[in-house]
């Protein structure tokens, strides 16, 4: 009787180990296969998102919008740059959105350069934000947002990080398309 019990337990343990081993290796293979396949769509999604961002940056801006920058007040120019940073940053609150285009960046830079600001430090800050943007470099977006946010005495909505290309593409589609 005891021998049958031991043999039965041995068979049960063997079956359990075989089942766990089979599941582990097959599940592991399935996970590895799934990961390999998921990299391709993620890469394709990233490429598509970058294309949406580039298309947005290159699009034409109505001339009336560009020429309006020349007569905007300092505060309106600050707000326009601030609203543009929202396209690039993650923050818990955002009020206002302005699509970033090459033409807008160039027109803003020109308008700010050609105005006589009462606060020259503010003018310098805006120009230093926009200068790399003219070349399509937005690596300063979080710093830019938070400098403007601090200048405006913000207490809600500090930028925490740059949006991923997919997040930015979604922001563009939601706010400008």
CA Rg value for the chain: 28
Arithmetic mean of pLDDT, 134-145: 97
Q: Which domain holds residue 55?
A: 1-177
Q: Are 99 and 87 in contact (CB under 8 A)?
A: yes
**pLDDT tens track for 65-118:** 999 999 999 999 999 999 999 999 999 999 999 999 999 999 999 999 999 999
DSSP code per residue over 68-81 = HGGG--HHHHHHHH
How many domains does the structure of the chain reveal?
1
Any idea what DSSP says for residue 89? E
Q: Are 125 and 82 in contact (CB under 8 A)?
A: no
């Amino acid at each position: 009787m005891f021998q049958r019990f031991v043999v039965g337990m041995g068979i049960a343990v063997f079956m359990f180990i075989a089942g766990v081993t089979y599941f582990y290796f097959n599940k592991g293979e399935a996970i590895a296969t799934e990961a390999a396949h998921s990299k391709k769509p993620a890469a394709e999604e990233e490429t598509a998102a970058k294309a949406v961002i580039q298309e947005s940056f290159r699009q034409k801006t109505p001339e009336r919008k560009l020429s309006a920058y020349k007569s905007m007040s300092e505060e309106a120019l600050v707000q326009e740059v601030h609203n543009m940073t929202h396209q690039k940053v993650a923050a818990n609150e955002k009020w206002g959105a302005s699509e970033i285009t090459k033409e807008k960046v160039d027109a803003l830079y020109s308008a700010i350069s050609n105005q006589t600001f009462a606060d020259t430090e503010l003018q310098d800050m805006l120009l230093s934000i926009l200068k790399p943007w003219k070349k399509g470099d937005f690596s300063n977006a979080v710093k830019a947002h938070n400098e403007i946010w601090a200048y405006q005495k913000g207490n809600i909505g500090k930028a925490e990080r740059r949006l991923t290309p997919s997040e930015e593409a979604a922001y563009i589609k939601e706010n400008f398309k």
